[in-house]
Structure 1
Amino acid sequence: MVAQHEASAITPVQVAPVKNGQGRDHRIDAMRGAALLMMFVDHIPQSLLNRFTMRNVGFADAAEVFVLLAGYASWLAYGRGFKKYGVAGCLKRIFRRCVQLYIAQAIMVFVSVASIRVWRHFTPVPVDFLEPELAHGIGWIWRAMTLDALPSNLNILPLYIVFLAGFPLYFLLMRLQRYLALLVAGALWFLINLDPDVNFPNWLDPDGWYFNPLAWQFLFALGVTASAETERRGTDFSRIPVLSFCCIAYLIFSAFQAFPWAQWSLPDLRPLGDSVSPAKSWLSPLRLFDVLAIFYLMQSSSVARVWASDTRVGQILARVGRYSLDVFVVGTILDLYARLVFTSFGDGWILQIVVNVVVLGVLFALAGWLDARRKRQQSQALAAAG
């Protein structure tokens, strides 16, 4: 999950203003909101909407966007916090946020296991919904509580807890030398790509954590560094024509190579055929380059800035992204129920429409309610101060 400006789960990230007078940059929130919604859709295999998410037109998917933005927002939330609140105060805020993420993870695990156990008493549930170790008894609880057991689709928050706990070390290395943390993180990522078997243990999977933290930390570090550099410069990334062309060319190649041509009954136009299958678990270079190309084009685009702040769609996505933890937890639980409904009652057009409209409606409503509550609290605080 992406950190917000305050440790509170409902306080939005404050994006640093820029010197060109354009004010707050909503692109980070909007990209994070879009990633949240795509993650929700991608986790429902039966949903027809998952044919239209970014994983169909590129090597990377919403998870890469999410982790990169986690690093970006962590600098905004905590990188500046060491100077503002002092070392002890900022460490306390980081610890409080990790506790919030841990509680959210525990809620999702226990609700998921309990829901599937109850549901299967009324109708059969495929075995892939619940790992055998979680299907019976209570011996799994201590493993889940120690993050030694990470069920499928419930493995992103532990990844962020690890990164956030390690953020003070990133910050220290950056203070010693601006790009030292990035150099160390990149070297570790490279070594893991050479030997992907080096990983954190997972009781439910002999291969370890699905998102190998030792590799994915490089993406987080890139986000931290990009955020710190943007703040230092006080302006957007420079739009370099040659670099932009390379990014666009790579994304076109990625789109042709990753597009599910057979699923759409179209001729296979993949330039490299079946020879390319970039690994997600240890963040292969093809996936890394994909998300970095997207990020650079977005963060160097004044058009994207205006779209995120001035259009209705951009504002809605930014609102979803500002309350990422709440939306993620509710969306993950609704994901499970949507899968159970489709599995038990079919995935015809009526249910496709009902399930997707209802669940997406709940997530948009939740973000709207949280935003209204925040504004009401701010108004009350101003009135009290006045």
Structure 2
Amino acid sequence: MKRIAALDMLRGYALVCIMLDHMPISVLRNLTLSNFAVFDAAELFVLLSGFLVGMVWIKIEARDGRWAAQKRFLKRALQVWLALIIGSLVLALLSALLFELQLNHTAVWFQYSRWILEHPLGYLATVALMWMQPNLMDVLALYVLLIATAPVTVPFLLRYPWAALALSLLIWYFAEPLNALVPNQRPGPGLLFNPFGWQLLFFVGVAMGAFRDRLMPVLMRRSRLLTCVSAAILIFSLTIVITWKIGPAAKPFAQFLRQFHGPIDKWSLDGLRLISILAASWIVAVPLARPFAWMAATRPGEALAEIGRGGLFSFVTCVLLSIWGDAMAMTAPPGGWGFALRIGIDIWVTVALWAAAAVWMRRETWIAILRARWAGL
């Protein structure tokens, strides 16, 4: 399947944003997606993941049949589940090591560092059962569930798209009470990333990837109207974020806006966050398609695309780097020098994420070299 460079770049950008957003005193986190819209990189990552699932499914099914596509995504669900377990293990061990070195950090809950040392098998078992999802890795638990259901849900979506949309909307509407039924380690009900809410965004992405050749000609007939509506939604979204940043002085205006948008809840994916990410997708895909294609061809764009192509490896690496970067940033002194140092740390972890993804993407080459050298000894 021919890759779309701009999509890979956006996946890489989402991972960089996720990393910086989880570093509480990062300087560059003030430039991430959540500073300009009511949604953040999590929505972007899930939507793009769904889009790629739709594209890949159609390609595999056309070439090798439906069963081949179903086996592919069952295998993928297993890979994501293993990444959740391994990532959670390394996350807890890294946190424990940093505390042992007197490097405090707040990006991840301190209890994981204790449990992995005091009850290692219990820790791994609760993660494997997904009864516990360590923060920063919790989105992978959501992804496991979404991918694991794909062998059933995607064929249904392909055959009955409107019925699938209606069912997905119904589940989304009752997401909170449904999630409350899921047993979990958290004090609150269910999983943090409510799978009954987020499934709607994921399957919208699947439909966009699977039906794009049929959808786009229809949507392009109303492209001007859709662009105007999407731009208005994004301006409204930005206005809400600006009132949050202004604080108490803008509270009366924020309360006025709240009459129109209602409560905004990331964890169950409220309507405004959902509509806003879809509006942004239209703006990027249509009026800004050429600028984004140009950006994807630049050196920074290619670096971000490489991070995006790293997939699960890049995600786990970005989480671990966010913990390390948070610990390093907390050692920075106050004042101008500390500010400059935190910027340097932000840049370092971003470059390190790209370097790790680049090495991972070239693993077949360097593994072959190592094997040849080992055989020659």
Structure 2 length normalisation: TM-score?
0.83
Partner AA of 2:21 in structure 1 = D
> Counterpart of 1:356?
346
1:336 partnered with 2:323: yes
Shift of 1:267: 5.8
Shift of 1:261: 5.7
Shift of 1:120: 2.5
Q: C-alpha deviations, 1:200-254, integer Å up to 9, x for none?
A: 3321343221110011000001001111121346869526112211111111111
> Counterpart of 1:272?
254
> Counterpart of 1:295?
281
Shift of 1:283: 0.3
> Counterpart of 1:223?
205
Partner AA of 2:140 in structure 1 = L
Kindly report which structure 2 residues correspond to 1:224-239, keeping only aligned pairs within 5 A, or say none.
224-232=206-214, 238=220
Kindly report which structure 2 residues correspond to 1:39-54, keeping only aligned pairs within 5 A, or say none.
39-54=18-33
Shift of 1:66: 0.7
- d(CA) in 1 for partners of 2:32 and 2:189? 27
Kindly report which structure 2 residues correspond to 1:90-105, keeping only aligned pairs within 5 A, or say none.
90-105=69-84
One of 12, 22, 34 as aligned partner of 1:33: 12
TM-align CA RMSD:
3.0
Distance 1:295 1:234, change over 3 A: closer
Please list every run of 5 or more consecutive structure 1 residues that lacks an aligned counterpart in the other structure.
6-13, 16-24, 378-386
> Counterpart of 2:191?
209
- d(CA) in 2 for partners of 1:212 and 1:366? 30
Aligned length: 354
> Counterpart of 1:146?
129
> Counterpart of 1:200?
182
1:159 partnered with 2:142: yes
Distance 1:31 1:121, change over 3 A: closer
SS in 1 for 2:330: helix
> Is residue 254–residue 290 contact of structure 1 (8 Å, CA) maintained in 2?
yes
Shift of 1:151: 1.4
Distance 1:52 1:89, change over 3 A: same
1:367 partnered with 2:357: yes
Q: C-alpha deviations, 1:317-373, integer Å up to 9, x for none?
A: 223212222211111111111122233555722431332122111112233344556
Kindly report which structure 2 residues correspond to 1:241-260, keeping only aligned pairs within 5 A, or say none.
241-259=224-242
Q: C-alpha deviations, 1:275-331, integer Å up to 9, x for none?
A: 454001100001111101001111223424532444444333223212222211111
Higher helix share: 2
> Counterpart of 1:9?
none
> Counterpart of 2:370?
none
Please list every run of 5 or more consecutive structure 2 residues that lacks an aligned counterpart in the other structure.
368-377
Q: C-alpha deviations, 1:256-287, integer Å up to 9, x for none?
A: 11136656x89638843484540011000011
> Counterpart of 2:170?
187
SS in 1 for 2:191: coil
- d(CA) in 2 for partners of 1:128 and 1:52? 18
Partner AA of 1:51 in structure 2 = N
Shift of 1:55: 0.8
Partner AA of 2:326 in structure 1 = R
Distance 1:311 1:132, change over 3 A: closer
Structure 1 length normalisation: TM-score?
0.81
- d(CA) in 1 for partners of 2:144 and 2:216? 29
